[in-house]
Amino acid sequence: MKEIFSEKVAAGSRTYFFDVKESDQGARYLVISESRQTGSTAEHSRVVVFEEHLEKFSEIFDQAVWVMARSDKSKAYSLDEIRQKYPRAYEKWTSEEDERLTSRYQAGLDLLELAAIFQRQPSAIESRLTKLGLRPQA
């Protein structure tokens, strides 16, 4: 195993570690660790995210951070708020969009690039690709 990246964030009685590692077979993965001081002992927790799950993990992590950072913490985000970032969110897909999506996905564009082009959430792009039979069901 080879360590490619490592960063530490000290936050009061907790310390977070973000490590990108590579296995002997070349597979990369992210390890997020937390060390927490509880009295005279330390507790440790960790999450491992494999390369093939990183895009979805990142998307949901970004959404969670966005929800936590909002000033109005009591209400869930609205369609208007979502459409500020993704103007076509929750709109019906057209057959022309399906053809364009298929073409661009087969050309190698990733979910985030497709989301920007189609002005839809990455999860909507992923769902549509699955519906079109271009991605396996998660």
Per-residue confidence of the chain (138 residues) as pLDDT tens digits? 899 999 999 998 899 999 999 999 999 999 999 999 888 888 999 999 999 998 888 888 888 887 777 756 555 667 788 889 999 988 889 999 999 999 999 999 999 999 999 999 999 999 999 999 998 876
- The domain made up of 1-75 has a fold known as Nuclear Transport Factor 2; Chain: A, (3.10.450)
pTM of this prediction?
Answer: 0.52
Beta carbons of 133 and 98 less than 8 angstroms apart: no
Distance separating alpha carbons of residues 25 and 42, to the nearest angstrom: 32
Q: Which two tokens stand for residue 138?
A: 């998660």
Strands 14-22 and 2-11 come out as antiparallel
Given a contact cutoff of 8 angstroms between Cβ atoms, the answer to whether 5 and 20 are in contact is yes
How far apart are the C-alpha atoms of 88 and 94, rounded to whole Å? 12
